[in-house]
Amino acid sequence: MITPTPLMRLVTGFWSFKTLAVAVELDLFTRIAGGRVVTVADLRDELGLADRPADMLLAACASLGLLERDGEGYRNSPLAEEFLVAGRPYYFGGQVRYCDVKTYLPWHRIGEALRTDRPLTWDPDTDRSAFETGDPAMLAEFWEAMFSTSIFTARTLASAYDFGQHARLLDVGGGGGAYPIELCRNFSHLKAAVYDLPHVCEIADRKIAAAGLADRIETVPGDFRAEPVLPDGYDVILLSMILHDWDEATNRELLAKCYAALPPDGVLIVSEWLLNGDRTGPAEAALMGMNMIVETEGGRNYSDVEYAAWLSDTGFSDVRVVPLDAPGANGVVVGRKR
């Protein structure tokens, strides 16, 4: 018998997110890292909470798979221990904080975004793009969110695609450098560069230095939309979570620049949440497309079929899709320059 239970799960979906967000805000998972067990009384005393909210927060986090019961208390689940403890290599808290602070409230006005076809997280009348707004603190949150999503996605890509065949990687719009950092960790011969706006390259330089990879990864300041050509001398170019920010015409122009910058037999890799060909899912890709309505002027999520066609039209051959299971992509579209 069909019931409205699935609808109830959709209606209350924000309960789960906000429970995760407040736990990250309170540093709950970092406080109890390393196998520490915390009780309701412990949480009450450390965070200044009353018994009732302390009890409900712990129970809710356990129900979401973020905590596990241990005797009279709770400890981090393997998921929380790996990804929600600050300072861990694949810490995901940046993405949680950014969505909570920057996108959650604008999503309350999604109807307005649909009716006006204008973003809600920045003002196109005063800012050139979402990546060049006048709020440095929020931009820092954004790039930290992108880094926390990208670093594990890059690890997944390193297992799914053999970069051993390449010598030099150019990450166009590479943000904080998560992909080059992770890929260079996995392929000791690889050298890489992050190509992004000057203020973003400053963030990437710090991340690269902290990773101890300044001798193998450099930053190249530039604007891939404004500059007529991309830097050359690289045999593989990566576009990760870039094309969903822009309309088809802008994307085709960027793909043409990538093709021109690559040497013969060079490879382009497009990493994205890919819609299926009949545009019925997966939900992560379709809902990211809705988020593009909130956060961009012309962005949307495209299907693997569309990306493959664009690459072929640009001149790339041997176009193929490599599936991924990662927080920032469900696949990459790969093409080789003829």
**Domain that includes residue 103, residue range:** 93-337
> What pLDDT is recorded for position 126?
86
Q: What is the 3-state secondary structure (H, E, C) of 63-91?
A: HCCCEEEECCEEEECHHHHHHCCCCCCCC
- Residue 137's pLDDT band (boundaries 50, 70, 90)? confident
Domain boundary among 59, 83, 107: 83
Cβ distance 245 to 216 under 8 Å?
Answer: no
Length of the chain counted residue by residue: 338
- For residues 200 and 70, state if they share a domain: no
The CATH number of the domain where 172 resides is what?
Answer: 3.40.50.150
- For residues 119 and 237, state if they share a domain: yes
Domain boundary among 34, 62, 83: 83
> What pLDDT is recorded for position 133?
61
Domain boundary among 19, 50, 83: 83
Position 88 in a domain: no
Q: Is the pLDDT of residue 254 over 90?
A: yes
What pTM, to 2 d.p., does this model score?
A: 0.94
- How many folded domains does the chain comprise? 2
- For residues 155 and 247, state if they share a domain: yes
Computed over every residue of the chain, the mean pLDDT equals: 96
Position 50 in a domain: yes
- For residues 11 and 158, state if they share a domain: no
Q: What is the mean pLDDT of residues 3-24?
A: 98
> What pLDDT is recorded for position 88?
94
Q: How many CB atoms lie within 10 A of CB 309?
A: 13
- For residues 114 and 42, state if they share a domain: no
The CATH number of the domain where 54 resides is what?
Answer: 1.10.10.10
> What pLDDT is recorded for position 134?
60
79-115 confidence digits (pLDDT tens): 999 999 999 999 999 999 999 999 999 999 999 999 9
Q: What is the mean pLDDT of residues 223-240?
A: 98
- For residues 67 and 121, state if they share a domain: no
Range with the poorest average pLDDT among 129-143, 158-172, 265-279: 129-143
- For residues 145 and 281, state if they share a domain: yes
> What pLDDT is recorded for position 127?
81
Residues belonging to the active site = 244
What does the alpha-carbon distance between residue 67 and residue 37 come to, in Å, rounded to a whole number? 10
- For residues 58 and 197, state if they share a domain: no
7-17 confidence digits (pLDDT tens): 999 999 999 99
H or E element in which residue 124 lies = none
